[in-house]
Amino acid sequence: MAELQAGKKTVLELLGNEKASFHIPSYQRPYAWGVEECETLWDDICSFTVPDNDPNGFVADSEYFLGPLVTFKQTDSGFYEVIDGQQRLTTLMLLLRVLYSRLEHMNDKDNASLRDDIEKAIWKVGEFGKPIAGESKLQSSVASDDDLGELGAILASGIVDDDMTSRYAANFRFFLNAADDYVSKYPDYFKFLVNRLLRNVILLPIESEDRDSALRIFSTLNNRGLPLSDSDIFKAAMYEHYRSRGRAEEFDSRWKEIERQLAGPLLAEDSPMTELFRLYMGYLRGLSYAGSTNRPAVRDFFSRDRNAILKEEKTLSDLENLADFWNRYEGGEGFSDPVLKDFFVLRFAPNKLWQDAVSNYYLMNRNDSGRLDQDAFHSYLQRLIAFLYGAVVAGATSTWERREIDKEAGFLAGRIDRSPFEGRFTEHEMRDALKVLGPWKRINKGILAWRMMSNAGQAPIELGTDFDVEHIYARKRHQNHPGEITDEQLESLGNKALLEKRINIRAADYDFSDKRAIYRGLTAGKAGTAVQELLDLADGNEDFASREIDGRTAEIEGSFLRFLEQTGVVIPEGFSSDDSEEG
């Protein structure tokens, strides 16, 4: 067990130590505190140091706890590497720099002494024990932070230029204004605020003798502002592995490029990098599939055997490839039209399990250039669509679907002999399930997307296009003419289609005779729809009412069942699951 040193220290005791200089390493995430957090900190300090605006109300031995600071001392540089606590430490240094600037204009004895104290806290100390003005005790090299130049300039000069736009600049401006406002209102109290901040505000430094131990602490603590994500933990472990081999800059560059590629909306979680690791975990589980239905937590999975997976060269390379794949998905780059149409349908899936399945297929079937055979990929995506939508129509739970997706990964890896997508439902049970599908909005949009892309003349659609569900026979018309169709027909699949949101807003309440012109783009200055089936309906029908709705409903249900049979997900009537296995 590595030795840990921990004990509470005042701001002056911790930062005023002439040997204390701090470095925020490149694997940390960018500075995230905003003005709101700074305002909370300032209000807390003011209330603590001068209670109720009365300096005499302060209890001499009272303390305000600012939070922990986990560090590891770098043997080569002598810096304390900040593992956890960079948000509060950076903010504290900005605040102290503001207080120092204001004390420079206050020449009485007490304020001069406080200025000397702050010098020891913010400046490095030279050979003869004197602070070196402008050389900050806080250095940062966060790889993904493009604003470090502003931080360095502000801490060195105490000046924030008008063209500075970083969080550092915004927070520094806040503290400047707050300090000036305080001095103007309570000029005699300012020295009490500064003195008590230095001597009664407490930090809990936790110093480890090695980085591994510090990172373990890092993995269990939350900072005051944002909890640590799984990817923060993984990045720290991977960084250490590459740094120990003299490849820290290479790792920083490659990690930053992955983050750039994940900037699109598909993986826009609180932490898209953590989502990428989750997808990668499914792939690794598939490679070693042993029939387990218990999916471990992402952090537990990658932390096994002292982060063994994270230290493999293949891991970073695979993550780069997977990030590149999803980045190309966002732009529709390098995919055939049939695959792009499949992607559009999957976009409307009721959950995100399709991303797991697609990631597994990609990582197991890519060529040396990181590309897929498009015909084979399209065939797989068709089976995936059929399975996912068939499962939801049949009433399967997402937990059951996830288990089957994990099995499918095992099938793709050659660990099991038969795909779990094959022969999962009978035609009879699917027909019965479809009868209650009409009002089930959770799946309607997906079936309509499949219907849209099943049209041979339909071109791929840009993934960023917004679509709504269009009632071809308008709800308004049904209200005005209640006897023409039934409520059931109004909400049936046959009366619905996807339509671009910008057009749906205009077309929603019109009769079909007017909708035809809107679909075609014949109204003045308005583009028509790219949905081929609606264009075909507009060209081939004078009206769309009861007979047309029933006919289209039956046709959609029938074609959907044929699709499920063609992909092997549904067993046709007259066959059994045993027949399917033998065939």
Instruction: Enumerate residue ranges in the chain where pLDDT < 70.
Output: 1-5, 143-144, 210-228, 265-270, 436-442, 524, 574-583
CA distance 406 to 388: 13
Report CA Rg, the chain.
32
C-alpha angle 249/251/257, rounded to 5°?
105
Cα 54 to Cα 42, 199, 310, 364: the distances in Å are 17, 18, 55, 69
Copy the structure tokens of residue 490: 């109004």
Q: Distances in Å between the alpha carbon of 370 and those of 53, 152, 377, 428?
A: 65, 41, 13, 42
pLDDT at 525: 74
**What is the Cα–Cα distance from 52 to 57, expressed in whole angstroms?**
8
pLDDT value of residue 4: 61
Query: In residues, how long is the chain?
Result: 583
Residue 356 CA to residue 340 CA, distance in Å, equals 17
Residue 224: predicted pLDDT: 41
Phi-psi region of 349 (alpha: psi -120 to 50; beta: other; left: phi over 0): beta
Q: Of the candidates 106, 90, 76, which has an alpha carbon nearest to the alpha carbon of residue 22?
A: 90
How far is it, in rounded angstroms, from Cα 53 to Cα 533? 72
Is residue 64 classed exposed, middle or buried when 0-12, 13-18 and 19+ CB atoms within 10 A define those classes? middle
In the numeric block, the tokens 């993550």 are attached to: 319
The CA-based diameter of the chain, rounded to the nearest angstrom, is: 99
CA dihedral angle for residue 28, residue 210, residue 242, residue 138, rounded to 10 degrees: 40
Q: What is the per-residue pLDDT for 463?
A: 81
Separation between Cα atoms, residue 23 and residue 142, nearest integer Å: 10
